[in-house]
Amino acid sequence: MDNALLLGLQTQRVLQRRMDVAANNLANVATAGFKADALVMEEANRTTAHADADPRDIRFVRDVTLMRDMRQGPIAMTGNPLDVAIEGDGFFMVEGPNGPLFTRDGAFTLTGDGRLVTGDGRAVLNSGGTPIVFDPQGESPVIGRDGVIRVAGVEAGQIGVASFAAPGALSKVGDNLWDAQGQAQGEFEGIVVQGAIEGSNVRPVIELTRLIEISRAYQSAAKIVSGADELRKSAIERLGR
């Protein structure tokens, strides 16, 4: 009876974690450059739980970490000269509180003083790690495949794009930003596409189906917990009599 209760509660905890991950993926279907998450689980083999009847082994699983799906999302042309997408591996370098942060969201804008910034106002950095500032002078900037910005034919800076050997090891820090956590940057071998935005790589149909499956499994686990609790109450009442 205790085993059934523990098994049900553990199952509910893991399912709740899976549901949180799937729900967060669905919530970011329309977030530019968002990378979907998946929960990694392993069997907890150091347990002494067992049953009195066959099958006697009772096995638990636990969530270990989140795995990042770093596959590229669809690239949509917008025609906005300040929208930029990366085709291939790499991240745009943006200003963070304690050093550069990284993002795949290239929906940039220009402030009144000529600073190139992200949608939430963070300065876009060049390859040297300093903010990009230029005067459009009434002309639209032209951004090359290497990220070089030219205005009226004159180079005005280069968008910093960082590449990592293990991009899945980067840490999400919120606001669609990533922290490299000391990873060494490699040579960028992708292409910068002007007038385009990379969409989220979340597959909504799969995530929605997963949510339905998790919800049904959670209901089944809840019935196990409820049944074990009722058996416990009945046993206590009988022992009391």
60-74, 87-101, 120-134 — which is least confidently predicted? 60-74
Q: C-alpha angle with apex 13: 8 to 19, nearest 5 degrees?
A: 120
Residue 100 has a pLDDT of 93
- What is the predicted pLDDT for the residue at 42? 75
Chain segment 226-240, per-residue pLDDT in tens: 776 676 677 667 777
- For 31-44, b where at least 16 C-beta lie within 10 A, e where not — what string? bbbbbbbebeeeee
Provide the CA 30 distance to its chain's centre, in angstroms. Answer: 13
| Residue 20: predicted pLDDT | 93
Mean pLDDT of the chain, nearest integer:
86
Domain ranges for the chain:
2-71+202-240, 75-198
When pLDDT is cut at 50, 70 and 90, the band that residue 1 belongs to is very low
Read off the pLDDT of residues 120-129 as tens digits, 9 standing for 90 and up. Answer: 999 999 988 9
Mean pLDDT of 62-84: 90
pLDDT digits over 13-36, tens only? 888 899 999 999 999 999 999 999
Q: Return all residues near 97 (Cβ < 8 A) that are at least 6 apart.
A: none
What average pLDDT score do residues 203-211 get? Answer: 94
List the structure tokens of 28. Answer: 């970011």
Q: Is pLDDT above 90 for 105? A: yes
Lowest mean pLDDT among 8-12, 93-97, 99-103, 196-200: 8-12
Q: Report in angstroms the alpha-carbon separations of 98 from 116, 181, 225.
A: 19, 11, 47
- Polymer length of the chain: 241
pLDDT tens by residue, 160-178: 999 998 888 899 998 999 9
